[in-house]
C-alpha cells in the first residue's frame, strides 16, 4: 500500500517501455527488410539498364567467351548473379555457373516474361544453386526484336543472414535501451511518488486535527507551488480553528452568564446546546441529546415550540411551569431547522404587577365611598351657601367629579387588564348602538355649535362582542371628539367588508401633533394638561379604548393633523 503510487507509476512505465521494445524488435525488421528488398530491386534495375547495352552488343558479336568473362567480372564486382539467356531458353553466360551445366531456362517465370518483352521480378528457389533467390529479368532488344533475356539475381539467404544479424543487434540495443528506460522510470516514479506520499501523509495529519503539519519545500516546479499552497492552507486553517475556539469559548461564557434558560433544538426537537439557566429550570443535569419534552413537561411550551416551527416565525408566550411563570420565546434559525428557546422567569414580575393592580383596585374601591359622600355633602350644602362659598363648593364639586371619573376609569382599566377575566361576547348591532350613543352627545355638541352624525353602509353584520365594552369605546371616542373640537362636525362612520367592521370617529378639532401620536394610548398621557383638566379628562380614556379593542382581537389607528382634525379607526372581527 505504501508503495502503491510508486509501483503504479513504475509498472505503468515498465509496461510501456517493454511493449515499445517488443514492438521495435518484432515489427521493425519486417518493414526494414521490405525497404531493403526495394532498394535491391532499384539497384538491380539500374544495373540491368547499364548492362543491357553492352550485353546486346556482345550478343551481336557472338564472342561467347568475351561475354562470359564480362558477365563473371560484373558478378564479382556487384555481388549479384548475372545470367544471359538466349531466346530458346539456353543459358549463354552466367556469373556463377558453367552455362553448359545449366538446364534450359525457357520456363522460368521471369525468363518467360522477359523473352515476351516484359520486365519481371520474382523471389523463388533456384534449382541450379539450391538457394532462395531474388530474380529481376530484362528483355534484351535489338531494334524491335527480343534477342535474349538478362537476369540479375541476389541470394536471399544472404538477405536472411543479414536480417538475422540485424535482429540480434536490434534485440541487444532494445534490451539495453529498455534497461536504461526502466532505470529512468524507477527514478522518475520515485521522484513523483515520494513528494506525493509526503503530501498524502501531511493531509492525513491535517485531517486528524494537526494543523501544525508542514510539507518540505525541497520539491521543484508544481510540487513546490503545491507545497507552498498546502503550508499556507494549514496556516489559515490553524488561525481559523483558533478563532473558532475563541469564539466558542466566548459563546460558552456568554451562555453561562445568561440567567435566563436557553437551549438550541434540532429539527426533531432534540436539545443540541443548553446553558446552566436552562438546566436549572429543567431541574436536570445533562440535557444535551434529549428531547425537550422529556426535560420540560409542559403542553403549553410544546404547543408554542410547534407553532413557531410550523410557521417558521419567532413566537413569544407566557408559560407556567410548576408554580413559576416564564416568558418563553422561540426563534427559528434562518440557516436551518434548528430553533433557539429562551425561558425568562417572570414570576416575581407578575407578582409585583398583581400587587400593584390589587393596590390600585383596593385604593379605587376605598376612595369611591368617601368621594361619593363628599359629592353628596357638597350638593347638600350648595343651596344654603352664600355666593362666595358657592364658588368654592363648585371647585370642590368639579375636582370631586374628576377624582370619581379617575377612580372609575382605573377600575375599568384594572378589569380589562386582568387576564383572567373573559369578556362576555354576544351578537351586537353596532349601528343601533352607535345611533343611541350619538344621541347622548347631541346636547353637548349643540351647546358648542357642532354637528354630530352617524354614517353607515347598508347591511352591516352584527359583531360578536361585549356590548357594554363597545358602548364604552364609542363613548370615549365621541367624548374626546366633542371635547377637542371647537367648530365643525363629528362623524361616526360604520362600514364592513363582511369579515371586519370598521368604526371611524372623525372630527374637525384641534388635532394631535405627530410627536404626541405614539403616546396617546399611554395611561395618564395628555397632550395639553390644563385643557384636559378643564374638560374633565383623566388621560385614561384612550388607554381603555385600546384595551377594549385588544380584548376583541381588533386594531386601532389614528390619523391627525393639528388644526384640521382627528380620525380614529377601529377594526373589529365580525365573528
Ligand atoms: P383625556 O381624558 O385627557 O381625553 P384620553 O386618553 O382620552 O385622555 O386622550 C389622551 C390625549 O389624547 C388627550 O389628552 C388629548 O390631548 C388627545 N386626544 C384624544 N382624542 C383627541 C381628539 N379627538 N382630538 C384631539 N386630541 C385628542
Q: From residue 415, how far is each of 63, 177, 317, 357 by CA, in Å? A: 158, 108, 21, 9
pLDDT tens figures, 210-267? 888 888 777 677 788 888 888 899 999 999 999 999 999 998 899 889 999 999 999 8
Residue with CA at minimum distance from ligand 1 atom 18: 480
Residue where a domain terminates, one of 293, 314, 345: 345
* 390/373 Cα distance (integer angstroms): 18
Residue to substitute in 405, 445, 450, 484 for testing ligand 1 pocket (most ligand atoms within 8 angstroms of CB):
484
Query: How many Å apart are CA 168 and CA 43, to the nearest integer?
Result: 26
Residue 387 is given by DSSP the state H
User: Which residues, 6+ apart, have CB-to-CB distance to 26 below 8 Å?
Assistant: none
* DSSP 8-state code for residue 485: -
Residue in the structure block whose three cell numbers are 360604520: 494
CA of 491 to the centre of ligand 1 (A): 17
Edge-to-edge order in the sheet of strand 261-265:
271-274, 261-265, 339-345, 324-332, 315-321
User: Same domain, yes or no, for 384 and 441?
Assistant: no
Indicate which atom in ligand 1 lies nearest the CA of residue 568: 23
308 Cβ closer than 6 Å to some ligand 1 atom: no
- 507 and 564, same domain (yes or no): yes
Beta bridge partners, 328, equal: 317, 343
412 and 364 Cβ atoms separated by less than 8 Å? no
Q: What is the pLDDT of residue 421?
A: 61
- CATH number of 466's domain: 3.30.565.10
Taking the chain (575 residues) in consecutive chunks of 10 residues, what is each chunk's mean pLDDT?
A: 73 88 82 84 88 85 81 87 91 87 87 90 77 86 88 79 82 89 87 83 88 77 83 90 92 89 93 92 87 91 91 91 93 88 94 91 92 94 88 91 92 80 85 95 94 91 94 96 94 94 96 95 89 82 95 95 96 92
Q: Are residues 337 and 323 in the same domain?
A: yes
Atom 25 in ligand 1: residue holding the nearest Cα: 511
Q: Is the C-beta atom of 478 inside 6 A of ligand 1? A: no
Asked whether the whole model's pTM tops 0.85, one would answer no
Q: Are strands 565-573 and 500-507 parallel, antiparallel or unpaired?
A: antiparallel
Strand-strand pairing, 500-507 and 489-496:
antiparallel
State the CATH number of the domain containing residue 83.
Answer: 3.30.450.20
**Residue that finishes a domain, picked among 417, 435, 460:** 417
- Same domain for 136 and 49, yes or no, is yes
Bridge partners (DSSP) of residue 152 are 82, 136
Tell which atom from ligand 1 comes closest to the C-alpha of 510: 25
pLDDT of residue 1: 46
Distances (CA, A) of 528 to 432, 489, 510, 515, 541: 34, 22, 11, 13, 15
The residues, ordered by sequence, that sit 6+ positions from 368 with a Cβ below 8 Å of its Cβ are 404, 407
**pLDDT value at position 3?**
56
pLDDT of 59 reads 80
11 and 153 fall within a common domain: yes
pLDDT given for residue 476 in this prediction: 96
292, 306 Cβ separation under 8 angstroms: no
**Mutate-to-test residue for ligand 1 from 402, 480, 517, highest number of ligand atoms within 8 A of CB:** 480
> Do 199 and 329 fall into the same domain?
no
Q: Assess whether 331 and 475 both reside in one domain.
A: no
Residue of 299, 342, 291, 289 lying closest to 321 (CA atoms): 299
My answer on whether 248 and 274 are in the same domain is no
Nearest residue to 48 (alpha-carbon basis) of 108, 122, 120: 120
In terms of domains, do 491 and 555 share one? yes
Among 345, 360, 376, identify where a domain stops.
345
Which cell is 331 given? 426563534
Model pLDDT, residue 174: 87
Query: How far, in Å, is the centroid of ligand 1 from the Cα of 450?
Result: 18
Distance 447 CA to ligand 1 centre (A): 20
- The finding on whether 25 has its CB within 6 A of some atom of ligand 1 is no
Q: Of 506, 449, 509, whose CA–CA distance to 484 is shortest?
A: 509
Query: Tell me, what DSSP letter sits at residue 509?
Result: S
Q: Where are the alpha helices (DSSP H) in 62-140?
A: 64-78, 109-115
Q: How far apart are alpha carbons 353 and 280 in whole angstroms?
A: 25
Where are any strands of DSSP class E within 296-417?
A: 315-321, 324-332, 339-345
Residue 47 domain boundaries = 1-208
What stretches of 385-452 show up as alpha helix (H) in DSSP?
387-417, 430-440, 442-447
Instruction: Tell me how far the alpha carbon of residue 465 lies from the centroid of ligand 1, in angstroms.
Output: 25
CA distance 382 to 370: 18
286 and 369 belong to one structural domain:
no
Q: Quick check: CB of 525 below 6 Å from ligand 1?
A: yes
Nearest protein Cα to ligand 1, atom 13: 526
539 CB near ligand 1 (under 6 Å): yes
Do 359 and 437 share a structural domain?
Answer: no
Answer yes or no: do 336 and 380 share one domain. no
DSSP-assigned beta bridge partners for residue 276: none
**Count of domains forming the chain:** 5
Amino acid at each position: 500500500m505504501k508503495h502503491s503510487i510508486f509501483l503504479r507509476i513504475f509498472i505503468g512505465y515498465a509496461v510501456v517501455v517493454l511493449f515499445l521494445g517488443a514492438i521495435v524488435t518484432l515489427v521493425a525488421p519486417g518493414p526494414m527488410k521490405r525497404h531493403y528488398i526495394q532498394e535491391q530491386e532499384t539497384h538491380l534495375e539500374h544495373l540491368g539498364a547499364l548492362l543491357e547495352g553492352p550485353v546486346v552488343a556482345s550478343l551481336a558479336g557472338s564472342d561467347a567467351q568475351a561475354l562470359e568473362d564480362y558477365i563473371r567480372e560484373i558478378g564479382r564486382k556487384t555481388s549479384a548473379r548475372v545470367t544471359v539467356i538466349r531466346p530458346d531458353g539456353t543459358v549463354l553466360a552466367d556469373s556463377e555457373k558453367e552455362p553448359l551445366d545449366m538446364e534450359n531456362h525457357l520456363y522460368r517465370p521471369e525468363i518467360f516474361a522477359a523473352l515476351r518483352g516484359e520486365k519481371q521480378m520474382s523471389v523463388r528457389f533456384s534449382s541450379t544453386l539450391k538457394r532462395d533467390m531474388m530474380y529481376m529479368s530484362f528483355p534484351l532488344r535489338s531494334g524491335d526484336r527480343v534477342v535474349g533475356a538478362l537476369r540479375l539475381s541476389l541470394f536471399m539467404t544472404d538477405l536472411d543472414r543479414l536480417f538475422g544479424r540485424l535482429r540480434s543487434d536490434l534485440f541487444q540495443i532494445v534490451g539495453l535501451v529498455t534497461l536504461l528506460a526502466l532505470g529512468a522510470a524507477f527514478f522518475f516514479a520515485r521522484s513523483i511518488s515520494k513528494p506525493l506520499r509526503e503530501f498524502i501523509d501531511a493531509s492525513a495529519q491535517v485531517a486528524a486535527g494537526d494543523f501544525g503539519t508542514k510539507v518540505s519545500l525541497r520539491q521543484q516546479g508544481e510540487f513546490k507551488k503545491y507545497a507552498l499552497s498546502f503550508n499556507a492552507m494549514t496556516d489559515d486553517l490553524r488561525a481559523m480553528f483558533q478563532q473558532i475556539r475563541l469564539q466558542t469559548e466566548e459563546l460558552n461564557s456568554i451562555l453561562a452568564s445568561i440567567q435566563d434558560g436557553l437551549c438550541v433544538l434540532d429539527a426533531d426537537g432534540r436539545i443540541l446546546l443548553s446553558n446552566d439557566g436552562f438546566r436549572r429550570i429543567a431541574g436536570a443535569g445533562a440535557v444535551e441529546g434529549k428531547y425537550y419534552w422529556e426535560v420540560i413537561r409542559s403542553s403549553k411550551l410544546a404547543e408554542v415550540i410547534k407553532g413557531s416551527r410550523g410557521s417558521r416565525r419567532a413566537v413569544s408566550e407566557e408559560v407556567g411551569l410548576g408554580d413559576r411563570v416564564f416568558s418563553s420565546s422561540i426563534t427559528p434559525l434562518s440557516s436551518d431547522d434548528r430553533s433557539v428557546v429562551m425561558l425568562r422567569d417572570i414570576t416575581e414580575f407578575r407578582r409585583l404587577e398583581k400587587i400593584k393592580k390589587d393596590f390600585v383596585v383596593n385604593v379605587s374601591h376605598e376612595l369611591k365611598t368617601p368621594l361619593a359622600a363628599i359629592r353628596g355633602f357638597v350638593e347638600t350644602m350648595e343651596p344654603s351657601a352664600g355666593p362666595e362659598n358657592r364658588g368654592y363648593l363648585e371647585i370642590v364639586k368639579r375636582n370631586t367629579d374628576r377624582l370619581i371619573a379617575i377612580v372609575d376609569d382605573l377600575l375599568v382599566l384594572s378589569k380589562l387588564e386582568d387576564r383572567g377575566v373573559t369578556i362576555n361576547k354576544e351578537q351586537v348591532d353596532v349601528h343601533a348602538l352607535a345611533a343611541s350613543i350619538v344621541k347622548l352627545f347631541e346636547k353637548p355638541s349643540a351647546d358648542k355649535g357642532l354637528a354630530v352624525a352617524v354614517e353607515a353602509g347598508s347591511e352591516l353584520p352584527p359583531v360578536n362582542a361585549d356590548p357594554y365594552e363597545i358602548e364604552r369605546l364609542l363613548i370615549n371616542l365621541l367624548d374626546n371628539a366633542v371635547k377637542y373640537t371647537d367648530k365643525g362636525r363629528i362623524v361616526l362612520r360604520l362600514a364592513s367588508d363582511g369579515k371586519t367592521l370598521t368604526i371611524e370617529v372623525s372630527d374637525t378639532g384641534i388635532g394631535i401633533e405627530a410627536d404626541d401620536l405614539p403616546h396617546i394610548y399611554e395611561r395618564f398621557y395628555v397632550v395639553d394638561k390644563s385643557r384636559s383638566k378643564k374638560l374633565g379628562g383623566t388621560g385614561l380614556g384612550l388607554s381603555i379604548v385600546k384595551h377594549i379593542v385588544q380584548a376583541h382581537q381588533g386594531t386601532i389607528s389614528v390619523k391627525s393633523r393639528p388644526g384640521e382634525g382627528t380620525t380614529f379607526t377601529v377594526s373589529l372581527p365580525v365573528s
